[in-house]
A and B are shown apart, each in its own frame.
Chain A
Amino acid sequence: MVDLKMQDGRIISVSVGGNPLSIIRALEDGGPLDLIVDTARIDSRPSRLVIERNGIESIVHCARVGDRWWIHLDGQVHVVDVIEPGAVDASDSEGAFTAPMPGKVLDVLVPEGAKVREGQDLMVLEAMKMEHRIAADRDGVVVAIHYKTGDQVDAGSVLLDLVEDE
């Protein structure tokens, strides 16, 4: 059984078995999902699987980087995250603004304690020599700013905390 998180946020527990492999159990929110009748088998070349859908075989490329499976299917790339047991999903901590990519803080446009309006620019980041503006997604108060001009930030770093105005 492996817990998988899809790009649309659904978390589904999946068991596979048999030869060729097929899904023998899939649970979403504790309830069973309709079984997918497709099958998958290993391909002798690295980073590939062969799947069969409605009697038609196709080659799928896949690679795991960190906890993420990258999958090239029918000309498109998708990602599916593996949720390791005990892992905490930190992706939606409320009120936090995170850096969308690694880069440098070019400018902090508001002081701590500032009241800001939805759409107002808060910070300017630079990555790949292009500027990207971080704007407020709601009216509120900037309660903390975690970086100053010139600081390097990693993707996912919490830049500042914005609390909704009462």
Chain B
Amino acid sequence: MSQLDWMKDAPHPIRSVLVANRGEIACRVLRACNEMGLESIAICSDADFGALHTEVADRVVHLEGESLADTYLNIEAIIAAARSSGADAIHPGYGFLSERAAFARAVQDADIIWIGPPAEAIESMGDKVTARRRMIDAGVPVIPGQEIIDSDDENQLIDALVAAATEVDYPLLLKASAGGGGKGMRAVHEPKNLQQEFLAARREAQAAFGDGTVYIERLLDGSRHIEVQVLADLHGNTVHLFERECSIQRRHQKVVEEAPSPVLDVSTRLAMGNAAVAAAAAVDYSGAGTVEFLLGSDGSFYFLEMNTRLQVEHPVTECITGVDLVEQQIRVASGLPLSFTQENLNIRGHAIEVRIYAEDPSQGFLPATGPLAVFRPPEGPGIRLDTGVREGDEARIDFDPMLAKLIVHGSDRDHAIRRMASALSEFVILGATTNIGFLYDVVSHPAYRAGETDTGFIQRHYPEDWDAPKPSDVLLLIAAAAEHLGIHRKSGDMAMVDDSGRTTPNDPFYRLNRRYP
């Protein structure tokens, strides 16, 4: 575990990293630390005792409490945990505190290395108005939009809202200023829905980010959502790692992501990459970041925002470039230069990621809960699974409904699509409803195969709820045979789940009785 040769010339050497997150991204980052020979330290709330990320880590610090405010959003407690565990550095993952400049500052004020961009860059890009000005100055094109100044006076607020909406024009998009991940985001097609949607967006934003400020942007229907990965070190080197296409979205939540984009030509790719590098350089960026663009049908593109963190969908970029983004983040934070230049980077093959959610696509995509009684992911060449759960865990209501990210890498887009379809049909999750069947349908859709992946895809092809496949009579045989054979009473994993779905103590008499029905 002391193979730290790569660190010996680092200006700010790192020996141990505390990961201030949970779930799949905590596992992802903790594993990178383990691979690099760094001590990996997890944090966990009361509800996360025994969670997968606590097993991946070398050590775990328990943060008392169940609420996010007491645990994963508690800056003081996290810094105290880093101090008590002797962590040299903190990696924030995505979500939670990853884009809070105050957290970045507090970490650095505590003499702990922050594995992330400078607090000033987070602030500039986190405030949409500042970001727009900086982008306009840097020559990066932007979408028409307006910020609504929050006010305690309801009438004043509504007046400001209506004025801003009229200025931007319909259809428009309400976005949480502090937001991401579709929370606090609402499309408004007609003025009569404006007030109701605004209040809902504000409540969601307040609940999710602790900041109810909402921003209005022109909604460009039928456009593509394309984002460019950038990496910058502390020595003035900024590179882009090509684009990801994230156009398949539902309620502005990404569902399918891929790299490279099926439509970008070489010259647009180059122009967008250069614009992303210019955007990062304009705010003195360092570490990993993502510059999002909307691509119009005429090939024009607009800066949307910059995400000053690692993205959920970063694995597709890792697949096609061969770069481990988390490793580079840690190298950059230690003061080392990037281990490659722009000229070293090439696109190899095609990668697709789908997000497996515990939700019911045939019931309005409502979140679903339940035990992961069976959880058997696909395996084989070119398949990667990033998850924070395993068999026996529970899909719960208290965090994001994302169970896992399934990523495939193929020699070209067609190959990757076939590999994804095959992997999805092999993925067995029983006990909680998931969107796996829906995802299979999406990647098998002729329009998806043809690369027609604009942001209206799901609404256009699935205007009603998704129709789950019709039950066939063979299910009668299977259920009756399973019941007759007592599949649920066999020793092994299922012996631990009783008829109420709860796990029971491993009582030998219980098992003995149940084994011979």
Q: Are B401 and A23 within 8 A (Cβ)?
A: no
Q: Are A16 and B484 within 8 A (Cβ)?
A: yes
Which of B182, B471, B482, B484: most chain A Cβ within 10 A? B482
**Contact among A8, A33, A60 for B478, CB-based, below 8 A:** A60
Is residue A116 within 8 Å, beta carbon to beta carbon, of the partner chain? no
Is residue B152 within 8 Å, beta carbon to beta carbon, of the partner chain? no
**Contact among A12, A63, A102 for B373, CB-based, below 8 A:** A63
Is residue B481 within 8 Å, beta carbon to beta carbon, of the partner chain? yes
Query: Which of B200-208, B217-225, B261-269, B303-311 has 4 or more CB atoms under 8 Å from chain A?
Result: B200-208
Is residue A100 within 8 Å, beta carbon to beta carbon, of the partner chain? yes
Supplied contacts A46-B491, A100-B366, 12 more A-B pairs, CB within 8 Å: A4-B476, A14-B476, A36-B474, A47-B494, A61-B374, A69-B479, A70-B373, A77-B429, A80-B476, A82-B483, A100-B364, A131-B204
- Shortest CB-to-CB span from B4 to chain A, Å, is 40
Contacts of B374 in A (CB 8 A): 47, 61, 63, 70, 72
Q: Are B487 and A8 within 8 A (Cβ)?
A: no
Is residue A157 within 8 Å, beta carbon to beta carbon, of the partner chain? no
- Shortest CB-to-CB span from B165 to chain A, Å, is 20
**Contact among A16, A63, A100 for B477, CB-based, below 8 A:** A16
Q: Are B471 and A12 within 8 A (Cβ)?
A: no
Q: Digitize A35-73: 1 where CB-to-B-CB distance is under 8 Å, 0 elsewhere.
A: 010111010001111010100000011111111011111
Contacts of B477 in A (CB 8 A): 14, 16, 21-23, 36, 38-40, 51
**Contact among B370, B440, B480 for A4, CB-based, below 8 A:** B480
Q: Are A130 and B424 within 8 A (Cβ)?
A: no
Q: Are B203 and A106 within 8 A (Cβ)?
A: yes
On A, residues with C-beta under 8 Å from B are 2, 4, 6-8, 12, 14-16, 21-23, 26, 33, 36, 38-40, 42, 46-49, 51, 53, 60-67, 69-78, 80, 82, 100-103, 106, 124, 126-132, 155
Q: Digitize B493-512: 1 where CB-to-A-CB distance is under 8 Å, 0 elsewhere.
A: 11001011100000000000
**Contact among B200, B483, B493 for A2, CB-based, below 8 A:** B483
In the assembled complex, 23 residue pairs joining A and B whose CB atoms fall closer than 8 Å, in A order, are A2-B484, A4-B479, A12-B476, A23-B480, A40-B477, A40-B481, A46-B487, A46-B491, A47-B430, A47-B492, A48-B487, A61-B374, A63-B431, A63-B487, A64-B487, A70-B431, A72-B428, A74-B425, A75-B437, A76-B437, A77-B428, A129-B183, A130-B204
**Minimal Cβ-Cβ distance residue in A for B482:** A62
- Shortest CB-to-CB span from A124 to chain B, Å, is 8
Is residue B384 within 8 Å, beta carbon to beta carbon, of the partner chain? no
Q: Digitize B154-184: 1 where CB-to-A-CB distance is under 8 Å, 0 elsewhere.
A: 0000000000000000000000000000110
Which of B364, B401, B487: most chain A Cβ within 10 A? B487
Give the size range of B's interface with the partner: 35 or more
Q: Are A77 and B475 within 8 A (Cβ)?
A: no
- Shortest CB-to-CB span from B379 to chain A, Å, is 15
A38-B474, A63-B494, A128-B400 given as contacts; is B479 within 8 A of A75 (CB)?
A: no
Contacts of A6 in B (CB 8 A): 471, 475-476
Q: Digitize B349-370: 1 where CB-to-A-CB distance is under 8 Å, 0 elsewhere.
A: 0000000000000011011111
Contacts of A61 in B (CB 8 A): 374, 376, 428, 430
**Minimal Cβ-Cβ distance residue in A for B481:** A40
Chain B residues 455 to 489 lying within 8 A of chain A, measured CB to CB, are: 468-485, 487-488
Q: Are A76 and B476 within 8 A (Cβ)?
A: no
- Shortest CB-to-CB span from A15 to chain B, Å, is 7
- Shortest CB-to-CB span from B393 to chain A, Å, is 13
In angstroms, Cα B470 to Cα A92, docked, is 21
Contacts of A26 in B (CB 8 A): 476
**Contact among A7, A42, A129 for B471, CB-based, below 8 A:** A7
In angstroms, Cα B476 to Cα A155, docked, is 27
In angstroms, Cα B468 to Cα A23, docked, is 25
A38-B477, A47-B374, A72-B430 given as contacts; is B204 within 8 A of A129 (CB)?
A: yes
Contacts of B469 in A (CB 8 A): 76, 78
Q: Are A75 and B485 within 8 A (Cβ)?
A: no
Contacts of A124 in B (CB 8 A): 200
**Minimal Cβ-Cβ distance residue in B for A24:** B480
In angstroms, Cα B374 to Cα A26, docked, is 29
Q: Digitize B409-438: 1 where CB-to-A-CB distance is under 8 Å, 0 elsewhere.
A: 000000000000000111011110110110
Is residue B116 within 8 Å, beta carbon to beta carbon, of the partner chain? no
Q: Are A49 and B430 within 8 A (Cβ)?
A: no
**Minimal Cβ-Cβ distance residue in B for A125:** B366
Which 6 residue pairs across A and B have the least CB separation, nearest first? A75-B425, A46-B492, A70-B430, A64-B488, A40-B481, A80-B479
**Contact among A39, A77, A100, A129 for B207, CB-based, below 8 A:** A129
Contacts of A130 in B (CB 8 A): 182-183, 204, 251, 367
**Contact among A64, A71, A128, A132 for B397, CB-based, below 8 A:** A128
**Minimal Cβ-Cβ distance residue in B for A45:** B492
Contacts of B373 in A (CB 8 A): 47, 63, 65, 70
Contacts of B476 in A (CB 8 A): 4, 6, 12, 14, 23, 26, 36, 80
Which of B431, B491, B500: most chain A Cβ within 10 A? B431
Q: Are A65 and B431 within 8 A (Cβ)?
A: yes
In angstroms, Cα B373 to Cα A155, docked, is 19
